[in-house]
Each structure stands twice: as structure tokens, then as C-alpha cells.
């Protein structure tokens, strides 16, 4: 009698164990099902690009020569825009398979990492700090930081900035570098380059600092301004993609190489870059 009871207890316990284990297993299975189905494990960006048959590029809309919205057509134009279209032609076979979304220096990495854009082609320097947050392609353009002043200004270069107000854009390397290179200057930051240039013109600062490539666009727009003092940093531009997309980076690098080999890169360069 006693033995029988013990046996019954044991069998009940094992039954319970079996039910519990099955329960756990079931839970795992349904989690897996959810990953594979509903929410889905996020596809890599290259696969998404191929599926939607277009690349969503984050570009500047206020940077003459690189990415500037033409108010009469509503289209963005510039070196970065033509590079982006040429990359789409290489990767998807047609330069119209693009969508452009506006980014600023401050917003671009967040928009990329949120998945709002597939890649950034927006005067973006490859830096070690940024490499912690995004991946970059090979260099596709070399710029360097400089200063823009009103013609006749007593500012002649980085060494004449003591006590001067220098305008820069939030989220740019320029804003970081200028504090290091001219610690005695006062730095005022703006959201984007059109605001910064408007501020320079309205006398809110003595100089504007960013890449020479961007400053040339401003001097073109208003020839009463000029670049002074040459460049004092190196700003190699790369195309940024979300981390963990090695295949997409590889595809973009292959496309860049083929644009260089075919002469298309030089054609785009000569169209926009005069200095």
C-alpha cells in the first residue's frame, strides 16, 4: 500500500515535469515563430533595397554644390545627389531608383539607425568616433575645413580668431575641430548651413567654418564672401550605412570603384567641383 502511494507520487511528479518542460519548449517555439513570422528578424539593408527596388538616400537640401533643393523644380541637386543616382544605377540598374530624404549634420546618423534612410551621402566625414555608430564605404571625396569671411575682413586664417565669433553647424566635425584649433574664438552653432550662412550675412558672426567644399558653394552664391587661410583639417567623405551591413558596404564600394573606372565619377566631379 505504502509502496503504491510512493509510486503514484513519483508518477505524478514526472508527469508534472513533462508538462512543465513541454510548456517551456512550447514557449520557445512560439517565440521563434514570432521572430520568423510577424515581427520577423530584420532583413539586412541590401536585401530590403533589392526588395523595394530603390535606395533611400539621406542627403543635404541646403548645401550648394553637394545637395541643394532647387525651389523651381523641387528637385535636389549637387555632387552628392549625382553620386547617389549613379550608385543606384550601378546597384539597381537605373538611376531613377532612388528616393531622397533631407538630413542635417545633426540628424543624419539617427535617421540612418532608425531605418528612415538606407544610406547617407551628405558631405559626411569618416571619423573614428562616427565609426562607433555607423559603417562607412571607402572615401569618395576629399575636403578640408576652412573659414569663410566677408571680403576685407581682418581674419586671415585660424590664427586670427581670438575673441571672434565663429559660426558652425551642430553635429559637424567643423564645430568640434574649431574649438580645438581656435580655443579663444567664440563658437555659435546653427541647425544647418543655410541658417549659418544667413547668420554670417546678418552680422551675427565674423566667420563661418566648415569644409572648403561647402564654403566654395556659399562664396559662389555671394561673391562678397571668400575663403581664407587654406584648410586646417582633413575631411574624407564616406557613405554611411547602418552597422552590420557588410554586404551593402561591399556593394557600394564595388559601385564606387566602377564609377571611377568608367569615368562617370570624373564627369560628376567636373560638373560640380570647380576649385
Shortest gap between Cβ of 173 and ligand GLU (angstroms)?
4
| Cβ–Cβ < 8 Å for 147, 209 | yes
For 161-199, letters b (16+ CB in 10 Å) and e give beebbbbbbebbbbbebbeeebeebebbbbebbbbbbeb
Q: Among 137, 146, 160, 172, indicate the residue that binds ligand GLU (CB under 6 A).
A: 172
**Contact region with ligand GLU (CB under 6 A), list: 1-9, 78-86, 169-177, 243-251:** 169-177
Report the residue number, 62 or 82, with the smaller CB distance to ligand GLU.
Answer: 62
Q: Among 124, 182, 208, 256, indicate the residue that binds ligand GLU (CB under 6 A).
A: 124
- Kindly state whether residue 61 participates in binding ligand GLU, applying the rule CB under 6 A: no
Q: Which helix (H) or strand (E) holds 25?
A: helix 2-36
Residue 94 Cα to chain centre, angstroms: 22
- Kindly state whether residue 210 participates in binding ligand GLU, applying the rule CB under 6 A: yes
**Contact region with ligand GLU (CB under 6 A), list: 22-30, 120-128, 131-139, 246-254:** 120-128
- Sheet architecture: strand order including 62-63: 62-63, 67-69, 76-77
What cell numbers appear for 209 in the block?
567654418
Closest Cα to residue 208, out of 245, 251, 161? 161
φ, ψ at 43 (rounded to 5°)? -70, 150
Which 5-34 positions form the footprint of ligand GLU (CB under 6 A)? Answer: none
Q: Among 146, 160, 173, 209, indicate the residue that binds ligand GLU (CB under 6 A).
A: 173
**Contact region with ligand GLU (CB under 6 A), list: 45-53, 150-158, 172-180, 195-203:** 172-180
* Whole-Å CA distances, 206 to 32, 156, 168, 183: 60, 11, 11, 15
CA distance 214 to 211: 5
CA distance 197 to 190: 9
Q: Among 80, 118, 120, 123, indicate the residue that binds ligand GLU (CB under 6 A).
A: 123
- Kindly state whether residue 169 participates in binding ligand GLU, applying the rule CB under 6 A: yes
Binding mask 223-252 for ligand GLU (x = CB under 6 A): ------------x-----------------
**Contact region with ligand GLU (CB under 6 A), list: 16-24, 152-160, 171-179, 198-206:** 171-179
Residues near ligand GLU (CB under 6 A) are 105, 122-125, 169, 172-174, 210-211, 235
Amino acid at each position: 500500500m505504502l509502496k503504491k502511494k510512493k509510486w503514484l507520487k513519483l508518477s505524478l511528479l514526472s508527469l508534472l515535469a513533462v508538462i512543465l518542460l513541454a510548456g517551456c519548449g512550447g514557449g520557445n517555439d512560439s517565440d521563434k515563430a514570432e521572430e520568423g513570422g510577424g515581427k520577423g528578424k530584420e532583413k539586412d539593408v541590401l536585401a530590403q533595397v533589392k526588395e523595394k527596388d530603390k535606395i533611400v538616400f539621406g542627403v543635404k537640401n541646403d548645401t550648394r554644390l553637394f545637395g541643394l533643393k532647387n525651389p523651381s523644380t523641387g528637385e535636389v541637386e549637387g555632387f552628392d545627389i549625382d553620386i547617389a543616382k549613379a550608385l543606384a544605377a550601378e546597384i539597381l540598374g537605373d538611376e531613377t531608383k532612388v528616393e531622397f530624404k533631407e538630413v542635417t549634420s545633426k540628424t543624419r546618423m539617427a535617421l540612418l539607425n532608425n531605418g528612415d534612410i538606407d544610406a547617407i551621402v551628405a558631405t559626411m566625414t569618416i571619423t573614428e568616433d562616427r565609426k562607433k555608430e555607423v559603417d562607412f564605404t571607402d572615401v569618395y571625396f576629399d575636403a578640408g575645413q576652412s573659414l569663410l569671411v566677408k571680403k576685407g575682413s581682418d581674419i586671415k586664417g585660424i590664427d586670427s580668431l581670438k575673441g571672434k565669433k565663429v559660426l558652425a553647424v551642430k553635429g559637424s566635425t567643423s564645430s568640434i575641430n574649431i574649438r580645438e584649433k581656435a580655443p579663444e574664438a567664440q563658437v555659435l552653432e546653427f541647425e544647418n548651413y543655410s541658417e549659418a550662412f544667413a547668420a554670417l550675412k546678418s552680422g551675427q558672426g565674423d566667420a563661418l567654418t566648415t569644409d572648403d567644399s561647402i564654403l566654395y558653394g556659399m562664396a559662389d552664391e555671394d561673391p562678397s564672401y571668400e575663403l581664407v587661410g587654406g584648410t586646417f583639417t582633413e575631411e574624407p567623405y564616406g557613405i554611411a550605412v547602418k552597422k552590420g551591413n557588410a554586404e551593402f558596404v561591399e556593394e557600394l564600394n564595388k559601385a564606387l570603384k566602377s564609377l571611377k573606372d568608367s569615368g562617370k565619377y570624373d564627369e560628376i566631379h567636373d560638373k560640380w567641383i570647380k576649385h
